[in-house]
Amino acid sequence: MKKLLILLFLVACQGPQCLKTGDLVFVATASGEMDGAISAATGAFTHVAMLEVAGDSLWVIDAHPAHGVSRRTLDAFLEENGPDAYYSVVRVRGFDAATAVERAKAFIGLPYDLRFLPGNDAYYCSELVQVCYGDSLFPSQPMNWLAPDGTLPSFWEENFAALGMSVPQGVPGTNPADMAASPCLALIACGTVLPVAISDAASFADCFR
């Protein structure tokens, strides 16, 4: 069904709202313990990926704990996120998106950064996007790992303990929720399936900001 939606979308899409190379896909899902820990500390969005349009095919480039930095089909990306995931598609204004995607391809094969630290040849999802688009568009901010009640989710406690490091509370970094609020982003669409109908993008404004 999702493959059919993708195909129909590509055939029907004619205007400026069509998916384009360099568009970002923000994902909100609670499909795993890590997703729950991310949303508890930073907000609803737990992942961000970059889109590439190649002919009649749609590809996703992202950094994911399961496979590090990789490029795979949009259909595989959707299946990985599960049926309950929620998506927001945005376009980065004021930057050559195709250049960002080409930069991202140079990182394919590198590992996911479970330490969430800069400059270690490993990348988490929003860090990859920041590196490819530049920190002038997506500046670093002090990272927060604590839930609203001030407690540390057990996932983070166990993750950093296993790595033999302290929790990088306050270390400069990025996260999908903060990145999604950037003024350089224009909403294209949002919904529970991708691609979604986007003939009236304004009607989706309340599901992004």
Domain of 109, in residue numbers: 2-207
* Ramachandran angles phi, psi of 120, nearest 5°: -125, 20
- CATH code at position 121: 3.90.1720.10
* Structure tokens that stand for 124 in this block: 């988490």
pTM for this model (two decimals): 0.85
Structural domains counted in the chain = 1
Rounded to whole angstroms, how far apart are CA atoms 71 and 74?
Answer: 9
Question: What pLDDT digit, counting tens, does each position of 110-163 carry?
Answer: 999 999 999 999 999 999 999 999 999 999 999 999 999 999 999 999 999 999
151 with 58: CB under 8 angstroms?
Answer: no
The SS3 of residue 203 is: helix
* Structure tokens that stand for 22 in this block: 């360099």
What sections of the chain are H helices per DSSP? 2-12, 33-42, 74-81, 97-105, 125-133, 154-162, 176-180
Question: What pLDDT digit, counting tens, does each position of 2-52 carry?
Answer: 443 443 343 334 444 478 999 999 999 877 899 999 999 998 899 999 999
Q: Is the pLDDT of residue 202 over 50?
A: no
